[in-house]
Structures are given as structure tokens and as C-alpha cells.
Amino acid sequence: MHPTRVCRLGALRLSLLKRTQVRGSYRRLIHSGAQGNDQRKAYANSKIFKVSDEVREATETGKPVVALETTIYTHGFPYPDNVALATHLESVVRNNGGIPATIGVLNGVARVGLSEKELTELVNPSSNTELMKVSRRDLPFIAGLGLTGRKINGGTTIAGTMLLADLANIPVFGTGGLGGVHRGGENTMDVSADLQELGRTNVTVVSSGCKSFLDIPRTLEYLETQGVCVATFSDGRQGDIDFPAFWTRESGVPSPMVIQNAEEAAAIIHASELFRSNGMLFANPIPQEWALEKSKIDHAIEAAVTEAAEKGFHGHRNTPFILSRIKELTDGKSVPANRALVESNVAIATRVAVELAKLRRPELNTSALHTPVISASEFRYTKEAALYGVGKNESPETTSRPARTIPVQESSQTVKITSPQQKVDILVAGAVAVDVSCNYTPFDKSVDPQPLIHTSNPASISETTGGVGFNVATAAQYASKSNSVQLCSLIASDTAGQLALSAMDEFGLRSDGITTLAADANTKTAKYVAVNTTGNDLFVAMADMDILGGARDDFQLQWQNKIDSAKPKWVVVDANWHPSSFKQWITAASAAGAKVAFEPVSTAKSQVLFPQPSTAG
């Protein structure tokens, strides 16, 4: 290569690098609002802070991400119910069009985007690793000790989750109930760190208000002093709206502000970024069918709070004791109500994140994402520079390409909270898949109707949603409008999975039996490819059903509770499941008193489940 050209190309690259760095620094400074925040965010994926690949890619490309805490799993629900709840809440996020980012501390490392394996390790009581409840104050302690070799696990509180979510550039967080000013807090100074975190960390929290046993008026006063915007979703109500009280929709305390829907919430977040560097609280009332009777829950709260004071439960020991006593005093009714409100909050938080991503999408297409423009005085034409797409007689300005539009994962799906009285007549356990039909269309219509082998063939190709489980569920729903139908299946967070959810919505099928797994090289929504003759008769087909056919050990976590709550009259199981899962479906259905039907799918798959007995010797 000519030395002059090497020099000029080197200068071109250096100029590109400098301009990219300057623009990148400016964008990060604007995004974080302060240089200190920018420096802290530079520690992402260090020895003490890890962001999963899925979450990092989503935040970098403008996809909607929702933060989820882990204290609810480590200190709120027993094992393995906590793993089942965590998996379900992540599925709620995915079904509503978002990317879940479950946050916790594992072996001394703060993690944003825990995998299923990591989450199970975090909450499993058989683990010998020390477990803590982690707020802002605890993060340096637990991470620092991790550097010395002392490995500690931690479930993050709202405050701890907000801090880590902000470091990972996640603006929306769905959870259960906020901490607040405890009763008598004017004397004890027992005030949750959640409130101050909202006053200084740029994350919006969606919760069912604060926990009912707190001093709600003083909590709202404290948030007002911190400059925190507090608004309550109207949920179809008109006029003045109460700030919710966790297990009840009314608290007797008016909400400072009222919002109608996720679009308004997202618009407020979007607009507020010019004025603030703190958080916001959007209160979502518990679904009506799960709300507890106010007089009864108030009585239980009074008794639990009094008992806690008499027994000396203060600080971080206070809330777990009170929640445990309320569970006992309500005969366990507070627990399913807690699950329902968390699920509802996570669902609406995801819809807010989706709407926010839509509003931010134009900003992602600004010139900051373009190839930097180089002035004519800085540019010298060389053959090597031509490889970068700049012609000899072109100015760099004319070669700047428009920014690529970054897609935002959207979904019309809304996860509905199943009423405690709602049962299922027919439960179908089987595959939902994307069917790809390739109909052979030869140029010469007089040739053999079958496609040629070992070469490509002209065809008309179409995609539809199918799968044996989906087809059976759809047929059952059409056959009898009086019978309720639920499809239980697995999909991945890929395009095919979104297509399947949209089709279920179009056909009126419930989606609360669908579990969405994070897509990767080994986890994909099922797909069936059929190659047909000119007469649309099947010539050959291929099916990738590994998402169901692989061996899994989580039947009790994923499916047992669905059968128990549905109490179906019929359970239809197809042959796409792994033999161990298939056996568990049959056993669980029989134990629930349901009639069982088998869909064989194909001869090959049926023989795997029911191998012919050996006739040897």
C-alpha cells in the first residue's frame, strides 16, 4: 500500500474515532443528566456488576425493559413457590411486549437480568451461601466482601433494585408495595429507604401504593418533600381517586394526581426527563376481584402492628413479622391477593415501558447514530477510503445514510388476572407453533407435481400459527361456546412467539397458560415446515419442537398450579412433550379428577411415548 494512502486512511480513521467518542460522551452525559452518573454507569459488567446480554442489547436498541426485584422471592415466598412466581412474572413482561430484568446479588456480584438457573440458585434454601436483604446501603458491603472472596447472595429491595436499574439504564420498575413511613415513625424515625431513593434515582416505580400497615398520609408527605411525582391509575373510575392501600383499592387518602392509562404514564415519564433526576411513583390499585374487605384487613393490620410493637420488632425485622401475622389473621387470603396485585403491577409497568419506548423511538434515530460527518478539509480520497462507501466526486455529507429504524417489540397482549372463581372446562397441554407452508409452483405446469430434490424449487410460502395444541384448543373453543378452554404451552421471546400470542388473541384464546422463555440459540418457539406438491399434498415436513420435547425438571413449578387452580373437566395432552413431562401431565390430570385425552401428533412421536414391548426371547 502506498505510504501516503496509509497516512491519509489513518487520519480518516482517527477523525472518525474522535468524533464518535465526542458524540458518544455527549449522548451519555445528556442521558444520565450528570457526569457522576455517567462515570458510575461505566462500571457496567465489572467484577461487581453484571448486565445480561439480553438486557444490555434491549437497552442499547431502545426496546422496553422492566426491572423486577428479588426480595419478594428471597424473603416473601417459600421455595419453590418463589421460583414459580419469578418465572411467571417474567412471562407476564414478555407477553406484554417487554424484556424482563430480574435484579439481585449472586455470589457478591450485583446482576441485572438473572437467568432461571441463577434465580433458582439465589432463592434455593439448600444453598450454603449467606443470604441478605439488600438495600442501597448494603450494596457496597456485599460487593466489596465479594471482592475479598466472601460470597454473599442478596434479594434486592425497591431501593436496591432502583439503584441497579438506573445503572443499567432501565427507567421502569414493576413491584408489589412500596415501603414508607411506619406508624409512629415521627418518634422512631422508622422510614423506608425506598422513599429517599425515589427522591434521587431516575426510575419510575409501579406498585399498589405502599403497604397498608404503614402511615400512608405521612408517606405521601415525605414523597412530596422529596419532589416525587405520585399519581394513581384511575382504573375506569371517575372523579377523586384514593391512593391505594395495597390489599384494598381505597385508603381514605386522596391521591395527589390521577392518570388514566399507560400512555399518559409514559408521556409523563418522557416529559419529566427535562425537569428531574429523581424517580416517580405510579400507584396501581389491586384488581377488584382480589381486593380484601377493608374492615377485615384493617382489623388484622391493627392487631399485627400492635403485636409487633409489643414484641420489639423494629427496622428490617418489622415488615416480615407484620406480613406473616396478617397472613395468619386473614386465613391466608392475603397471599393470593399479594400475587394478583404484583402480577397486575408488572403487566401495567410493561405497558408503560412499551409506550415509553414508542415515544423515545424518534430520539434513537437522530444524527448521533449516523456515521459521523467529515468536513471536506479533513477528507482525502484514496482507494481504501472508497471501501467505506465514499466516492471520488462525492462529499461526505451526501453519503451519510439515514439511521436504521430500531424496532420496538410490541404486543397487543394484556395479561388478565384470573378470577379466583374462574375454572377451566378443557385444558389443552401441547404445542403452539409457527407453521410454514411451502407450496411447490413449478414454472412448467406439466412437470412432475413433486418438488425436485437436491436443489431449490419455486414455491409460494406462507406463515400461520398452528401446532397440535393450538389447533385442538381452537377447535374446542369453536365447538362449544359454553366451555372455557385454556392452552398450556411454551414459547420463546422471538418473532415467532409474538406471532403466536397475536394469533391467540385474534382467536379469543386465553394466554395466561403460556410461559415465555428467553430466546437463545437453544430456545426457540416451535416451528413446523411443510413442503407440499402442486396439489398441496404433503411431500415432506420438518418440525422443531425442542422447546417442549426437551427434558425439563420444572413441571411442579410451571404447570401443577395451573391444573390445581383450573380444576378442568378434560385435559388433552399431545405427544410433543418429553416422555417425563408427558407422564407428569397425565398423572396430574388424573389426580385432579379430569378425563384425559391423548393427541398422538405422529406415529414417530407416539412410539417414543409408547414404545412397542420387546418380543425377544
> Among all residues, which ones are annotated catalytic?
69, 211
Strand partners, 254: 242
How far apart, in whole angstroms, are the C-alpha atoms of residue 97 and residue 497? 11
CA 602 to chain centre: 35
How far apart, in whole angstroms, are the C-alpha atoms of residue 368 and residue 87? 37
Residues with Cβ within 8 Å of residue 117, at least 6 apart in sequence: none
End-to-end CA distance of the chain: 78
CA 83 to chain centre: 14
Strands 109-112 and 99-106 come out as: antiparallel
Cell triple for residue 398?
Answer: 451526501
Cell triple for residue 133?
Answer: 436483604
Strand partners, 491: 516
Instruction: At 239, give phi and psi (nearest 5°).
Output: 80, -155
Q: Number of C-alpha atoms within 13 angstroms, CB side, residue 54?
A: 23
Kindly report the three-state secondary structure assignment for every residue of 281-308: EEECCCCHHHCCCHHHHHHHHHHHHHHH
Cell triple for residue 70?
Answer: 428479588
Cell triple for residue 444?
Answer: 412448467
Residue 577 per-residue DSSP state? S
Contact between 248 and 292 under an 8 Å Cβ cutoff? The reply is yes
Contact between 103 and 156 under an 8 Å Cβ cutoff? The reply is yes
How far apart, in whole angstroms, are the C-alpha atoms of residue 321 and residue 301? 11
Instruction: At 18, give phi and psi (nearest 5°).
Output: -60, -45
